[in-house]
């Protein structure tokens, strides 16, 4: 069985064969994947060694100390946090070997084609259609709020393949090539002035059946793996103490005694403690992941993340007074990354408003926590046994 000493030995061999200072970045990342040191808990041949997930930190520490390049995880977060675990669980061997390596090295960026204008919080009501024609599926519809679609080569996509059954039952999961004919990406300008999100129009897009993930009609179950991992990726990010939004406001408090008041001091202390509790809870959640798949607890972490970000950014604007309202970059930009801490307080305040929508609205996540974590009675569902085609829209 692979242990920490074995991983240190393997990492040393990788560094000896591919010295970071003398090796092309992409070449090094490919070699790391092939050595099984990308995701140590993944199977051999797929970037891992079948080792305990907790041992990834051993490899990461050794490589960081050696100055080795990473795979820019924030840039490819959708691929790493959502597409990869879903492909690993439901993909064919051919799909795993085709997609996981370039996904991890960052050669191919991924996006998520789930939400629609008429199916956001009620995702299972989606109307994008996929119709079988021989060995292909022809897809028509519209998706919205798609992060990184303007950068992505591939997308995870759910579409309706059977409108004659209840909405959760007639969905199938696909891997969509964003360069295929019929895929159109349009920017959505946000309140910050940026356009990190997109709407995506699919018109007669042909997807081979070999790029279907899971069984026909089983897409909702496959999508739950994606969504559970997404909530952990958003709400359970590893942070140092005072990492994230609490860092800038704490720094301002220390550096600007002229802005302090007793009331703001008490509120900052409360939020600082809550941010630290959320950080430590996230660590515990990641430890639970070592033993299996993420569950509904990730919804609770994502809820806390959204609420805290909005409360902290609001306090920061109030602390700074008039200067907190300033925001000096309203240009239309198409960013690769969302940078919360390197921007103005006004930017953080505006951008955090989206935290309670993206990755599952807070209202939906409250229902998930109530029903699947606390065991409370489910809300009545009048559409449970009604065919999708017969639902009012």
Distance CA(170)–CA(81), nearest Å, equals: 25
Distance CA(76)–CA(80), nearest Å, equals: 6
Distance CA(158)–CA(143), nearest Å, equals: 10
Strands 212-213 and 154-160: unpaired
Distance CA(264)–CA(101), nearest Å, equals: 49
Q: What SS3 class is residue 23?
A: coil
> Which residues does the annotation mark as catalytic?
230
Distance CA(311)–CA(329), nearest Å, equals: 23
Question: Helices (DSSP H) in 66-115: which residue ranges?
Answer: 77-78, 84-90, 93-105
Tokens (6 digits) for 90 = 């439901």
First and final C-alpha spacing in the chain:
55
Distance CA(28)–CA(233), nearest Å, equals: 25
Q: Is 5 left (phi over 0), alpha (psi -120 to 50) or beta?
A: alpha
């Amino acid at each position: 069985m692979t242990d920490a000493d074995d991983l240190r030995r393997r990492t040393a061999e990788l560094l000896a064969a591919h010295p970071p200072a003398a090796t092309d970045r992409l070449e090094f990342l490919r070699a790391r994947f092939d050595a099984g040191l990308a995701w140590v808990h993944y199977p051999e041949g797929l970037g891992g060694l079948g080792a305990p997930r907790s041992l990834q930190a051993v490899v990461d520490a050794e490589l960081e100390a050696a100055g080795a390049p990473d795979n820019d995880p924030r840039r490819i977060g959708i691929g790493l946090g959502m597409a990869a675990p879903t492909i690993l669980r439901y993909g064919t061997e051919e799909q795993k070997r085709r997609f996981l390596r370039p996904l991890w090295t960052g050669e191919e960026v991924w996006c998520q084609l789930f939400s629609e204008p008429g199916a956001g919080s009620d995702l299972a009501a989606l109307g994008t259609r996929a119709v079988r024609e021989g060995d292909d599926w022809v897809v028509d519809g519209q998706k919205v709020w798609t992060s990184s679609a303007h950068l992505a080569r591939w997308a995870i996509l759910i579409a309706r393949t059977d409108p004659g059954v209840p909405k959760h039952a007639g969905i199938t999961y696909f891997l969509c090539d964003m360069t295929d004919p019929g895929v159109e990406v349009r920017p959505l300008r946000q309140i910050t002035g940026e356009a990190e999100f997109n709407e995506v129009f699919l018109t007669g897009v042909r997807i081979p059946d070999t790029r279907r993930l899971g069984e026909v009609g089983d897409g909702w179950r496959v999508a739950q793996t994606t969504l559970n991992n997404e909530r952990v990726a958003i709400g359970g990010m590893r942070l140092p103490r005072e990492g994230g939004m609490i860092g800038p406001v704490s720094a301002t408090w220390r550096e600007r005694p002229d802005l302090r008041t007793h009331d703001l001091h008490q509120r900052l202390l409360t939020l600082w403690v809550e941010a630290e509790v959320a950080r430590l809870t996230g660590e515990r959640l990641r430890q639970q992941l070592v033993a299996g798949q993420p569950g509904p607890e990730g919804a609770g972490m994502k809820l806390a993340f959204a609420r805290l970000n909005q409360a902290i950014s609001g306090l920061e604007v109030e602390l700074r007074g008039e200067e907190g309202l300033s925001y000096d970059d309203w240009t239309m930009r198409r960013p690769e990354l969302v940078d919360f801490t390197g921007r103005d307080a006004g930017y953080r305040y505006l951008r955090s408003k989206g935290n309670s929508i993206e990755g599952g609205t807070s209202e939906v996540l409250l229902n998930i926590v109530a029903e699947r974590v606390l065991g409370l009675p489910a809300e009545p569902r009048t559409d449970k046994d009604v065919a999708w085609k017969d639902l009012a829209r």
